[in-house]
Structure 1
């Protein structure tokens, strides 16, 4: 179940710099504060939106973790991404005005609901907001290209190493540790996202642990040697 809660001002949110434009003047901040209609809580395992649902809003994740996914023609669930606090979710719906994937909470989460017609209206006045929305969309495209590279040309070890480095980097931007993380997703979900069988994911985690690159305790991962992970990936980054 989705639960509507009170409105919150973007200008006073501690995640503002992650999901909102920076450097706005007072007048612009007041306008941007009008973006968020409500906050919603989404319980673990519940969907924020489903494939085929009418697209009305973008959602800024305030707390919690989501996975997006599609059901393939042969009935398999394919994970297409993982999203965390400070990231915007729902961009898939802009093109055809309906969502093209499911977004499911991996833990109890809270999102800020930003009606898209309001974003478009305020963007006409606040250029920085329009630029910011374009930047977010561009980042999604770059991330999709990165995933295609991951799936198309990397061995299992490279895929998992790249995945862990990406997660840590995103969490670090939110003030978390650069060496410790708690995986909110299952090994199976990681495998679905990376195009790997569950046994391969488990085996690769074990290999990294045996090699002293990471320490694994259930869902807790401690990165002992980030440089070793980077060497495993060893793919020139696109900037």
Structure 2
């Protein structure tokens, strides 16, 4: 079985008519509840029947699009963005395999942000009306949907903390630790990663100028905390990054 964490080469933009079984996916514990019976899993497999492939730079959905489905990222990376009043694109998050896109559309039945692939990617489509019906029947599924929503609220609170109270080095340290921890949960290295996003996109997310992001990376490298080669980052001293973040916590 191919590793779904690998990028999809030559991906088409149109939805694929390929069936996918959650029961056979090695990401199911990240994006779907455990403990479902065989019958419940079969019905869930029937619900999540198709995948969509999205090429690098292409949009999965745009702000203002009608909301019909949630999307479980099967492979690749995405960024979500909103357009500010002065026409700038503000990055609001980065999503990877095993995470859910589209929750922003539930409130007003239309998407409030856009989701753009940072590399060739693939998502599983979860029609929301059918997911709601099934959730009312399976308490484990309903609880899991609530957990996903709660996780997004907690993540948004974390971003507000970054933007509102942390200095530049504290924001970058927290960002790197969070990213490598999420990747490690998916079977990747605990200390090495390839950044799918640009320094400019990191700055947009963290509320920093491009020059400040680059200067902070260089400072961390000079101090022996990380090793940087273009988009390759190796964390040499995770305890140093943690100390920087913990210092920010004690100042609140």
Q: Give distance in 2, aligned partners of 1:236 and 1:151.
A: 13
Task: Flag as ranges the 4+ runs of structure 1 deviating above 2 A.
Answer: none
Is the aligned partner of 1:103 residue 2:93? no
TM-score of the pair, normalised by structure 1: 0.97
Aligned partners of 2:21 and 2:49 also within 8 Å: no
Write the distance in 1 (CA, Å) between the matches of 2:175 and 2:218.
Answer: 16
Q: Which residue of 1 aligns with 2:237?
A: 225
2:101 aligns with 89
Task: Give the aligned partner of residue 41 of structure 1.
Answer: 53
Q: Is the 8 A contact 1:2 1:48 kept in 2?
A: no
Q: Distance in 1 between matches of 2:249 and 2:52?
A: 40
1:67-86 matches, cutoff 5 A: 67-86=79-98
Deviations 1:164-202 (A, max 9, x none): 000001001101001000000000000000000000000
> 1:148-187 residue pairs with structure 2 within 5 A?
148-187=160-199
1:5-154 equivalences in 2 (<5 Å): 5-154=17-166
Cα RMSD (Å): 1.1
Deviation, 1:236, is: 4.6
Aligned length in residues: 237
Q: Which runs of 5+ in 1 are unaligned?
A: none
Work out the CA distance in 2 between the residues paired with 1:187 and 1:171: 19
Q: How far off its partner does 1:207 sit?
A: 0.2
1:142-183 Cα distance to aligned partner (Å, 9 max, x none): 000000000000000000000000000100110100100000
Q: Decide whether aligned partners of structure 1 residues 30 and 179 sit closer, same or farther in structure 2, where only a CA change above 3 A counts.
A: same
What is the alpha-carbon distance in structure 2 between the residues aligned to residue 55 and residue 158 of structure 1? Answer: 36
Decide whether the 8 Å contact of 2:227 with 2:236 is kept in 1. yes
Aligned 8 A contact 2:56 2:120 in 1: yes
How far does residue 124 in structure 1 lie from its aligned partner after superposition? Answer: 1.4
Name stretches of at least 5 consecutive residues in structure 2 with no aligned partner: 1-12
SS in 2 for 1:166: helix
Aligned partners of 1:159, 1:35: CA distance in 2, in Å? 39
